[in-house]
Chains A and B, each alone.
Chain A
Amino acid sequence: MADADPVDEGTPFEGFEIETESMPDGRSIHYYRWPESDGDRAEARDDQPSRDV
Chain B
Amino acid sequence: MSERRWNPVLGEWVITATHRQDRTFLPPAEYCPLCPTRQGGDPTEIGRPDFEIAVFDNRFPSLRRDPDPPAIEGTELTPVAPSSGACEVVVYTPRHSGQLGTMSVRHVRRLIAVWAHRTLILGGRDEVAYVFAFENRGEQIGVTLHHPHGQIYAYPMVPPVLEREVASAADHRERTGGCLWCDLNAQEAADSRRVVARAGGWLATVPFFARWPYEVHLTSERHVGWLHELIASEVDGLARVLLTVIRKYDALFDMTLPYIMAIHQRPTDGGDHDGYHLHVEFFPPNRTATKLKYLAGSEAGAGAYINDTLPEETAATLRDRPPFDPAALDEGAS
Interface residues of A (CB under 8 A from B): 7, 11-14, 16, 18-19, 21, 23-25, 27-34, 37, 40-41, 44-45, 47-51, 53
Contact = CB atoms under 8 A, between A and B. Distances in A.
B167 to A, nearest CB: 29
Interface stretch (B15-23, B38-46, B158-166): B38-46
B141 interface: no
Interface stretch (B224-232, B262-270, B286-294): B224-232
Q: Across chains A and B, which 5 residue pairs bring their CB atoms closest together, nearest first?
A: A12-B232, A13-B113, A29-B56, A49-B29, A27-B57
Contacts of A44: 49, 93-95
B93 A48 contact: no
Contacts of B191: none
A14 B50 contact: no
5 contacts: A12-B233, A30-B56, A47-B97, A49-B30, A51-B38
B39 to A, nearest CB: 10
Contacts, number: 105
A30 B94 contact: no
A28 B117 CA distance: 16
B173 interface: no
A31 B117 contact: no
Given A27-B59, A40-B333, A49-B30, A32 B50 contact: no
Contact of A13 (B31, B50, B51, B235): B235
Contact of B110 (A24, A34, A51): A34
A51 B52 contact: no
A30 B117 CA distance: 11
A36 B218 CA distance: 30
**Residue of A11, A27, A47 contacting most chain B CB atoms (<10 Å):** A11
Contacts of A48: 35-36, 38, 49, 94-96
Contacts of B59: 25, 27
Contact of A53 (B30, B48, B110): B30
B258 to A, nearest CB: 22
B56 A32 contact: no
Contacts of A32: 51-55, 110, 113-114, 117
Interface in B102-117: 109-110, 112-114, 116-117
B170 to A, nearest CB: 27
Contacts of A29: 45-47, 54-57
Contacts of A25: 59
Given A30-B54, A40-B334, A41-B94, 19 more contacts: A11-B113, A12-B232, A12-B233, A13-B110, A23-B56, A28-B56, A28-B57, A30-B56, A31-B54, A32-B52, A32-B53, A32-B54, A32-B55, A34-B52, A45-B36, A48-B96, A49-B30, A51-B30, A51-B42
B230 A12 contact: yes
Contacts of B110: 13-14, 16, 32, 34
Nearest to B29: A49
Nearest to B96: A49
Contact of B94 (A12, A21, A34, A45): A45
A2 B231 CA distance: 31
**Residue of B50, B51, B231 contacting most chain A CB atoms (<10 Å):** B51
B32 interface: yes
Contacts of B38: 48, 51
Interface string B1-33: 000000000000000000000000000011110
Given A14-B109, A47-B96, A51-B42, A34 B334 contact: yes
Contacts of B114: 32
